[in-house]
Amino acid sequence: MIQEKAFPVSWDQFHRDARALAWRLAGAGPFQAMVCITRGGLVPAAIVCRELEVRLIDTVCVSSYHDYKNQGDLEVLKPVSEAVIGIGGGGGKGVLLIDDLVDTGKTASIVREMLPEAHFATVYAKPKGRPLVDTFVTEVSQDTWIYFPWDLGLSFQPPISGGIG
C-alpha cells in the first residue's frame, strides 16, 4: 500500500503562491477576462485578478469531488457565460482560466473544451493534469493530497515517520 503524502498549505503560503502565479502571468497577458473554476479557483482568482487588474470575472462550476477525497462523475453545474465565450472572436483567446490545482486533468479537459484558446493557470499541478496547464507555480507528486487552508483547522499533525517522539 502506498502511503499518501500530505501537503498542508497555510493561508500565508497560499497567498504567496497565488501572487507568484500572478507574477508569472503578468507577461502572458493582457487578459480581457478571467474564468475561475469553482470552488477551488475562487481564492486564487481573487488574488490574481487584483494583481493583474482584471475586472471581467466569470465562473464555471464543475462538480467532481463528491465525498471529500473521491472523484466521481463530472457535472457542469454552470457553464461559462456567452459574454466571455465571445471574447476574442470565440475560443477564449484573451481569457485567463484559474484553478487552485490540476489533479487528474478531468475537470481541466472539460473546461479546455469550452475555451480551447484560453490561458489556463493553476497554483499547483500534478503530473497527470500538468500537460493541460499553461502556467503553474508548484508541481507535486500524483500521490500527494494538498490540504488547502479553507479546508483546515488547527490540529496536531503526526510526524512523517508515523511515530511520536
Say how many C-beta atoms besides its own lie within 10 A of residue 79's C-beta: 16
Q: Is 84 in a helix, a strand, or coil? A: helix
Q: Is 31 in a helix, a strand, or coil? A: coil
| Residue 14 to residue 12: CA distance in whole angstroms | 5
Strand duo 95-102 + 33-38: pairing: parallel
Q: What ranges do the domains of the chain cover? A: 5-150
Q: Mind listing the pLDDT tens digit of every residue in the chain (165 residues)? A: 455 799 999 999 999 999 999 999 999 989 999 999 999 999 999 999 999 999 999 999 998 765 556 666 889 999 999 989 888 888 899 999 999 999 999 999 999 999 999 999 999 999 999 999 999 999 999 999 999 998 887 777 677 776 655
For residue 82, the surrounding DSSP H or E stretch is helix 82-85
Instruction: Name the DSSP letter for residue 160.
Output: T
Active site residues: 99-100, 103
Q: Which residues pair with 5 in a beta bridge?
A: 144
CA-angle at 133, arms to 127 and 135, nearest 5°: 110
Predicted TM-score (pTM) of this structure: 0.86
Question: For the domain 5-150, what is the CATH code?
Answer: 3.40.50.2020
| Residue 154 to residue 47: CA distance in whole angstroms | 24
